[in-house]
A and B are shown apart, each in its own frame.
Chain A
C-alpha cells in the first residue's frame, strides 16, 4: 500500500478497480486546516483525466502494472501484433487503443507496453524513429533554403510534412509525439 506522502508524478494507483497514473499533484493545506494532496490522475485504459483529493495519511492501493519491452511485427485489419522479446509470446492491440501512434509503427520497432491484468493498457513509442519516405512529390532544385514543406508518406503509413529537398526512398528522423520531421539521415 502507498501512503498519501508517496504521491509522485507517474505513481500508478488503483481507483475503483481501474489503473490510474498520477500526472500532477500538489500539497494543499488551508492556513488553519488539515493537509491534503490534490492530484490529477489519468485512467490508463480510457485516458480519462480526473481530479482527486487525498487526505493526509490516506492509503492508496498500487496498480499492479508491468512494463514490457515488445517488438512490433505486423497488422491485420485493425489488430496490431507485437512480440514480447523476453518469451516470444505474441499479442495484439486494437487500432482504437493505439490511436495516432499506429501510424508510426514500423516493422521490428521496439516499444514499451504497460500491461494490467494481462491486458495492454498503454503503449509508449520511442520519441524519435527513423523511417523511409515511400511517397512524395519530387524536390524542386534550388528551393532548399526557402523553408517551405510538402506532404510525404512514410513507410509506417503516416503523412508528415518534409522540406522540399527530401525525396522518395530517403530516410528521415521523425518525432513520434507530433509527427514532426527532424532531419534527414544517411542509411545504406
Chain B
C-alpha cells in the first residue's frame, strides 16, 4: 500500500491547501455560484445508519455534512450555492479519514446528476491546473477523459454479479470494498453512477428504472472523492427513508436523532436540483499524490 509518510515542509503544505481552496472558490464563482455558510451545530442531523454525528452535550450535534441546511436555502430560492465546511464523523480514522474534515458541497438548481458529473470533472481539472506543477503525481493523467460506468456493469465485470432492485446490501458493501474499488484505474478519474435503489441515500430514483437511483461517485487516484445526486424532492418518500435509517440506528443501540421537520417541510419546494459533496482534503491528496489525509491538513489528527 505505501511506505512511511513523506514529511512535507509546513509552508509548502499550507500553500497547497490555500491554492486548492482559492481554486475551488474561483471555479464555482465563475459558474455563478454563491458561497454560503450554514450552521455546524445542528439539532437534527440527517439520520444515516453508517454515519455517526457527534453529540455536543446540551447543544445538539456537530454537522456530519451541511446537506439539509443547504437544501433548505435552495428550496427558499437561493439559486446555485456552495460551501466549504468542516464536517465531523465519529469512529472514522485512518489514512483516508479524519474525524474532522473539510467538505466542499455545492448545489445546482435545475440540473440533473448528468450535468453535475460534467461539472465535477471540470472542477477537478480547474483545481489541478491551479496547483503548482511539482505537486502533480506523475501517475495521474488528467488529460484523459474520466471513465464513466454504471455501478451494476462494474460489479458484473469485477465481482461476477449484477446488483439490482433486490440487492443484498451487506454483500454489495463487501464486494465494493473488496473487489470493485481496488480494481478501478488509478491513473485517471472514474465516475461511477446509477446506484441500486437501496443505496440511494437522498437521491431520487431513475425516472425510467426505479431499481436504480440517480447517484454518482467520483474516484480519483483510487480515492473515493465525491458523492452527488439528483435530489429527492418527495417529502413523503424522504420521511419514509429517514424512518428506515432511524430504525437501523436504533437497532445498532444508538439514540436516533430527532427528525428535521423544517427540512421535510421545505423539500417540496426544492424542485429539480443536484447536489455534490466532495472531500476537499482527499482532493488535495489525489492531486498532490499524498498517501495520508494528515499530509493535506495543517495538523494531523494525531498532532491535535
Q: Do A and B come from one complex?
A: yes
- Out of B50, B97, B279, name the residue touching A32 (CB < 8 Å): B50
CA distance A32 to B91 in the complex (A): 14
Check if A63 is an interface residue, CB within 8 A of chain B. Answer: no
Q: A26-B94, A26-B96 are in contact. Are A32 and B199 (CB under 8 A)?
A: yes
Contact of A30 among B93, B94, B176, B182 (CB under 8 A): B176
User: Which chain B residue shows the least CB distance to A55?
Assistant: B174
Q: Out of B92, B178, B181, name the residue touching A27 (CB < 8 Å).
A: B92
CA distance A51 to B227 in the complex (A): 26
Q: CA A31 – CA B227 in complex, angstroms?
A: 8
Stretch at the interface among A12-20, A35-43, A150-158: A35-43
Q: Are B177 and A36 in contact (CB under 8 A)?
A: yes
Q: Is the CB of B1 within 8 A of A27?
A: no
Instruction: Contact check, A27 vs B94: say whether CB atoms are below 8 A apart.
Output: yes
- What residues of chain A lie closer than 8 Å to B199, measured between beta carbons? 32-33
In this assembly, does A34 line the interface, its C-beta being within 8 Å of a C-beta of chain B? yes
The answer for the CA separation of A31 and B178 in the assembled complex, in Å, is 15
B97 x A29 contact (CB < 8 A): yes
B92 cross-chain contacts in A, Cβ below 8 A: 27, 29, 35
Q: A32-B51, A32-B199, A33-B176 are in contact. List 12 more A-B contacts (CB 8 A).
A: A27-B93, A27-B94, A27-B97, A29-B94, A33-B173, A33-B199, A34-B170, A38-B178, A40-B1, A51-B182, A53-B174, A53-B177
- In the complex, the answer to whether B174 meets A29 with C-beta atoms within 8 Å is no
* Docked CA distance A36–B179 (Å): 13
A20 to chain B, nearest CB (A): 16
Interchain nearest-CB distance for A32 vs B (Å) = 5
Provide the bound-state CA to CA distance between A32 and B174, in Å.
13
What is the minimal beta-carbon distance from B89 to any residue of chain A, in angstroms?
Answer: 9
Minimum CB distance partner of B49 in chain A: A34
Q: Is the CB of B95 within 8 A of A26?
A: yes
* A residues neighboring B (CB under 8 Å): 24, 26-36, 38, 40, 51, 53, 55
* Docked-complex contact A31 and B224, CB < 8 angstroms: yes
Interface status of B231 (Cβ within 8 A of chain A): no
Residue B48, interface by CB 8 Å:
yes
Q: Can you list 13 A-B contacts with CB-CB less than 8 angstroms, sorted by A residue number?
A: A26-B94, A28-B94, A28-B96, A29-B92, A30-B173, A30-B176, A32-B50, A32-B201, A34-B50, A35-B92, A40-B1, A53-B177, A55-B174
Query: Which B residues touch A26, using CB under 8 A?
Result: 1, 94-96
Interface 0/1 of B199-222, CB less than 8 Å to A: 101000000000000000100000
Tally B residues with Cβ within 8 Å of A.
27
Chain B stretch 52-95: residues in CB contact (< 8 A) with chain A: 91-95
List, in ascending order, chain A residues with CB within 8 A of B1's CB: 24, 26, 40
The interface residues of chain A lying within 8 Å CB-to-CB of B95 are 26-27
Interface residues of B in 120-169 (CB under 8 A from A): none
**A30 and B201 contacting across the interface, CB-CB below 8 Å:** no
- Residue among B176, B178, B227 with max Cβ neighbours from chain A (10 Å): B178
Q: Smallest Cβ distance from B51 to chain A, in angstroms?
A: 8
A26 to B224 alpha-carbon distance, docked (Å): 14
Cα of A30 to Cα of B227 in the assembled complex, Å: 10
List of B residues within 8 angstroms of A29 by Cβ: 50, 92, 94, 97
Do the beta carbons of B217 and A31 come within 8 Å of each other?
yes
Q: How far is the CB of A93 from chain B (nearest CB, A)?
A: 30
Taken together as a complex, chains A and B put the C-alpha atoms of A26 and B2 apart, in Å, by 11
For B217, give the chain A residue with the smallest CB separation: A31
| Chain B residues whose CB sits within 8 angstroms of the CB of A35 once the complex forms | 50, 91-92
For residue B277, which residues in chain A have a CB less than 8 angstroms away from its CB?
31
How far, in Å, is B214 (CB) from chain A's closest CB?
14
Cβ contact within 8 Å between B96 and A33: no
Give CA–CA (A49, B178) in the complex, Å: 16
- Which single residue of chain A is at the shortest CB-CB distance from B89? A29
Q: Check B91–A30 contact: CB distance below 8 A.
A: no
A34 CB contacts on chain B under 8 angstroms:
50, 170, 173
- Give 7 closest A-B pairs by Cβ, nearest first: A27-B94, A53-B178, A24-B1, A33-B173, A36-B177, A31-B227, A34-B173
Within 11-40 of B, Cβ neighbours of A (below 8 Å) are at none
Q: Whole-angstrom distance between the alpha carbons of A184 and B93 in the complex?
A: 47
Q: How many angstroms between the C-alpha atoms of A124 and B296 in the bound complex?
A: 37
Chain A residue numbers with a CB within 8 Å of B181 are 28, 30
On chain A, the residues within 8 Å of B227 by CB distance are 31-32
| B93 to A, closest residue via Cβ | A27
Q: Across the interface, which residues of B come within 8 angstroms of A31, CB to CB?
A: 217, 224, 227, 277, 279
A177 to B102, CA, bound (A): 42
